[in-house]
Amino acid sequence: MSHYLGIDLGGTNIKAGVVSEDRRILAHGSVQTHGSAGIEAVINTMIEVGRSVTRQAGLKLDQIRAVGIGAPGTINLATGTIISMPNLVGWRQVPLRNRVVEALGRPAVLENDANAAAFGEFWAGAGRDEAIRHMVMLTLGTGIGTGLICDGRLIHGAYGAGGEGGHMIIQPGGRPCACGQFGCLEAYASATNTAHRAEEAIKSGEESVLVDSYHANGQELTAKEVFDAAAGGDDMAGRIIDETARYLGLACINICRFLDPQMIVFAGGMILAGEILFDRVRTAYASNRWHQMDTDHVRIVPAVLGNDAGLIGAAAVAWDADKTGRLRL
């Protein structure tokens, strides 16, 4: 039985875990990132928590087959270098993979954290059935991240900018997106933009049970409040989440036309809304029927790994590199 160490570097926390070949977490831990302490300190913390969870799992480092590292930002996969990172200041051209290899003496792989999380769901979560070889994951948060898995492999594209489905343009000339484009999926259907659209409706004078909490909270709402209000029968909130679901359904259609996956997995806090979200997304997907082929077999489902997706995903990426002969010291 091989064991893999997954380390997930986030802006707030560093999570690590030892995951066995049979997809069980043997030990895991989490510490604060303290990004302001600088690059060296953060790397040392990553290595420390990695050593610590290995001991917790009752293993020595040389019993770890490989280390997977998930990190946000733009990554040179071939060299294992972080090119830039949105959440931590000063991280430019950091050879993170090599630093981990030197410190732990084990082969390591560096992957974008959203891709790693998608691969984690594929390997050990919603897509763990081995009959699933084609899966797409959309993570609904501040933005919308996507991970594309085609015949068991992550799609990175030529320059590492593939799998950015949150920035497919779904409404030409539509809402401005933080990315510079107009009408991106993310500009409508992320958790943050679902809340923003409800705020805008209130600002324009629409009536809703959300008006009071909007004013009480400095003219801000959360996606959770909008979903709760919709579940309670509020018309404006219902319209807002219908629209979110409609755009997510359209996104599923476009994903199917490009990649024809067996499964589309939604992740992120917004999926806690449950069936009020998934029913609507499935209905929106089905309302635009494609006559060319029976494509009803795609399953639209929630992610199951929750907060562990990042570290399981990092370990899964190491497992995959091992199984496909891509491990390097």
Give the footprint of its own copies on this chain (CB under 8 A): 74, 133-134, 148, 150, 155-172, 179-182, 246-247, 250, 253-254, 256-262, 288-293, 295, 297
DSSP 127-139: T-STT---EEEEE
Which residue, 215 or 289, is less far from its own copies as judged by CB? 289
Which residue, 158 or 216, is less far from its own copies as judged by CB? 158
DSSP state of 232: T
Which residue, 247 or 319, is less far from its own copies as judged by CB? 247
Closest C-alpha among 106, 99, 107 to residue 82: 99
Q: What is the nearest approach in angstroms of its own copies to the Cβ of residue 310?
A: 21
Which residue, 4 or 247, is less far from its own copies as judged by CB? 247
Cα atoms found within 13 Å of the Cα of residue 223, Cβ hemisphere only: 24
Which residue, 226 or 253, is less far from its own copies as judged by CB? 253
CB 186 within 8 A of CB 166: yes
Q: Which residues contact 225 (CB under 8 A, 6 or more apart)?
A: 195, 198, 210, 213
Which residue, 169 or 211, is less far from its own copies as judged by CB? 169
Q: What is the nearest approach in angstroms of its own copies to the Cβ of residue 155?
A: 6
DSSP state of 172: T
Q: What is the nearest approach in angstroms of its own copies to the Cβ of residue 91?
A: 16
Closest C-alpha among 199, 284, 195, 202 to residue 245: 284
Q: What is the nearest approach in angstroms of its own copies to the Cβ of residue 12?
A: 21
Q: What is the nearest approach in angstroms of its own copies to the Cβ of residue 240?
A: 16
Q: What is the nearest approach in angstroms of its own copies to the Cβ of residue 157?
A: 2
Phi and psi torsions of 60, nearest 5°:
-95, 160
Closest C-alpha among 150, 119, 143, 140 to residue 266: 140
